[in-house]
Amino acid sequence: MNPDPSQLAQHPPAQPARGKGSVREVFWAFLRLGCTSFGGPVAHLGYFREAFVVRRRWLDDSAFGDMVALSQFLPGPASSQVGMALGVMRAGIAGGIAAWCGFTLPSALAMIVFAWGVIGLGQSADAGLLHGLKVVAVAVVAQAVWGMARTMAPDRSRATLAVLCAVLVLMLPITIAQIAAMASGALLGALLLKDAAPSGRGASVSPIGWRTGIACLAAFAMLLAGLPLLARVSGSPEVAQLESFYRSGSLIFGGGHVVLPLLQSELVPRGWIGNDAFLAGYGAAQAVPGPLISFSAYLGTMMAEQAYGSRAGAPLWPALGGLAALGAIFLPSFLLVFGALPFWHRMAQLARAQAALRGVNAAVVGILLAALYDPVWRSAIRGPGDVALALAAFGLLSVWRAPPWVVVALCGLAGAARSIG
């Protein structure tokens, strides 16, 4: 069906901004998101699309979908990797680092503060506030699915592929189902979407050269294989802890929630942190914006406090331990994103690869559609009141174009008021 010209006039398609951005611009844009992006990795993609595709027009939906697809293929926290890729494409490697700093440091610093004395926040009377933040995630994800479906699955073939991928992920609620959906989207796209209308542009050229990309991929593999050997030879508990965080960041698919049980099995049995403290920090992590995997800063702080609390300079050591753990768990993502981007661009220039990417983008829509139901809807919606609040938030975002942080604040206050009432 052809679009209504009047609607196009009111909401013209976003065109990517021309010219190279600055590192400062990238940092401040992501810092704002790092302070306001509640709702988990799926909701973060909605915030990113609103901020960089719709409002700032740094790129279009096709390029954004390519970055989401790349992050889905790589292990690690998907939303953080999309942020790194956006920063790289805007301002080079320094831009990727700036994007990560802006998006991650607010939640990481909050978790370090929680580690010092507010670790019970997630179990306190703020439960209503936390629930309101979960409800707003429903609206954010719904808006993202709706907007991305119109550009990434606009025809019958791609819409059908998106629905089939959603069914696959819902019927097999395991991480491997997401990987299978992405692989199926690529295969079916390469076979069936060769005659689909092209997007009108190739993938954006990565400012990272292929030599740098190979070096990053080699460093990732060397650290993954070498850190366990170094920990065993040195006998250092600090090296062993950093190796656990690095390996956890290298092996997860599906976002921050997936890494939590992995970290629990890594850290608690070794006595590096108690199970009660681990679970209290996990509860507190639900109260902060940004990537949930910044929970690692809390764990590193608690572990360093336990190891060095009685030594000189105790106030400094725990915070450094938290930042070290944060860096170790995110380092694989940096190396993988920086290493893959140059080749992702080259692959996207091939006609069959472009068809595969169209299939992958449709699969991304399906995965987001499945995530809208599980875990977003199932964890947030408990009754008619929650449905009404989610609908109101969706209307504010989609119809009234209210800033996401305003909608987040209103839903959080509404959740707190409902719990008091």
pLDDT band at 259 (very low <50, low <70, confident <90, very high): low
User: What residues contact 316, with CB distance under 8 A and at least 6 apart?
Assistant: none
- pLDDT score, position 93: 95
Give the 3-state DSSP-derived string for the chain, with helices as H, strands as E and coil as C: CCCCHHHHHHCCCCCCCCCCCCHHHHHHHHHHHHHHCCCCHHHHHHHHHHHHHHHCCCCCHHHHHHHHHHHHHCCCCHHHHHHHHHHHHHHHHHHHHHHHHHHHHHHHHHHHHHHHHCCCHHHCCCHHHHHHHHHHHHHHHHHHHHHHHHHHCCCHHHHHHHHHHHHHHHHCCCHHHHHHHHHHHHHHHHHHCCCCCCCCCCCCCCCCCHHHHHHHHHHHHHHHHHHHHHHHHHCCHHHHHHHHHHHHHHHCCCCHHHHHHHHHHHHCCCCCCCHHHHHHHHHHHCCCCCCHHHHHHHHHHHHHHHHHCCCCCCCCHHHHHHHHHHHHHHHHHHHHHHHHHHHHHHHHCCHHHHHHHHHHHHHHHHHHHHHHHHHHHHHHCCCHHHHHHHHHHHHHHHCCCCCHHHHHHHHHHHHHHHHHC
pLDDT digits (tens, 9 = 90+) for 82-130: 999 999 999 999 999 999 999 999 999 998 988 876 444 444 445 677 6
Residue 192: which of 3, 364, 363, 369 has the closest Cα?
363
Cβ neighbours, 10 Å, residue 360 = 30
How far is residue 310 CA from its own chain's centroid? 37
- pLDDT score, position 100: 97
pLDDT band at 383 (very low <50, low <70, confident <90, very high): very high
What six digits make up the tokens of 328?
């170790």
Domain boundaries, the chain: 16-421
What would the mean pLDDT of 199-212 be, rounded to a whole number? 71
User: What residues contact 66, with CB distance under 8 A and at least 6 apart?
Assistant: 203, 344, 348, 357, 361
Distance CA 60, CA 186 (A): 20
Yes or no: say if 325 and 297 are a contact pair by the CB < 8 Å rule: yes
Yes or no: say if 86 and 52 are a contact pair by the CB < 8 Å rule: yes
169-183, 189-203, 261-275: least confidently modelled range? 189-203
What six digits make up the tokens of 375?
């875990």
What mean pLDDT, rounded, does the chain reach? 81
pLDDT digits (tens, 9 = 90+) for 342-361: 988 666 667 787 788 788 88
Res 200 pLDDT > 70: no
More confident residue, 313 or 97: 97
Res 9 pLDDT > 50: no
11-15, 201-205, 267-271, 373-377: least confidently modelled range? 11-15
pLDDT digits (tens, 9 = 90+) for 323-347: 999 999 999 999 999 999 998 866 6
- pLDDT score, position 421: 61
Predicted TM-score of the model (pTM): 0.73
Distance CA 111, CA 302 (A): 10
Res 5 pLDDT > 50: no
pLDDT band at 19 (very low <50, low <70, confident <90, very high): very low
What would the mean pLDDT of 371-395 be, rounded to a whole number? 88
Residue 38: which of 408, 420, 419 has the closest Cα?
408
Distance CA 345, CA 209 (A): 11
- pLDDT score, position 121: 45
